[in-house]
Structure 1
Amino acid sequence: MKRYLVGAVAALALMAGIGASFAGDVVILKPEQQTVVREYIHKQKLASVSLLGVELNVGSALPDTVELHTIDVPDVRYKYTVVGDHAVLVDPDTRRVVQIIE
């Protein structure tokens, strides 16, 4: 029994390390893109949508009813929408929020 517990703890530690290193390597936007994307989104004056029952966090999936808009900035594959008072970048393949823009 003890052997299984040690193995399980080791496996969890390994998976946590892999997840942490992967998360640290993810770059949503380059610093120079951040400013351009923020300015682009603010100029669009897109109407805000209300999502009852959906907590807005990085990783939250947006319903199919939410329209995603293309960002006309070179080398940016994400789309965006405005939820409440926040513009959010969304992965168009998974519809998951990848960044909340203040």
Structure 2
Amino acid sequence: MRMHFSTAVAGLLLLAGVGAVAAQDVVIEPEQETVIREYVKKQPLASVKIPGVELNIGSTLPDTVELHEVPSVKYRYVVIDNRTVVVDPGTRKIVKVID
């Protein structure tokens, strides 16, 4: 009985650790956000509409959306519905929405 209990506890701890890693948010440092904001002001883009895509952190943008580079920052950006959206270029997932 003791063996089954410790195996179950170990399994739960392993799953909890995996869940914690999966739930980890992307954190954009304040300095990076400042660089992005200043760059976007200097390099304004026309706002685009993307039907069916909600501007939520974790939402994936379709391949048809052109992402724009910000020098010295690993993320890309696009302006959707007049809101600057910061995107991870590898996954195309929204990591930050800047108003």
Coarse TM-score class (shorter-chain normalised): 0.7 to 0.9
For the pair 1:27 / 2:15, whether they are aligned, the reply is no
For the pair 1:87 / 2:84, whether they are aligned, the reply is yes
Runs of 4+ in 1 over 6 A off after TM superposition: none
Structure showing greater radius of gyration is 2
Measured on the aligned residues, the alpha-carbon RMSD in Å equals 2.5
TM-score normalised by L of structure 2: 0.75
Distance in 2, Cα, partners of 1:31 & 1:40: 14
Distance in 1, Cα, partners of 2:20 & 2:61: 29
Paired residues for 1:1-102 under 5 Å: 7=8, 10=12, 13-20=16-23, 23=24, 26-28=26-28, 30-72=29-71, 74=72, 76-102=73-99
Change (3 A) 1:62 1:16: same
Q: Report % sequence identity.
A: 52
SS at match of 1:49: coil
Change (3 A) 1:17 1:98: closer
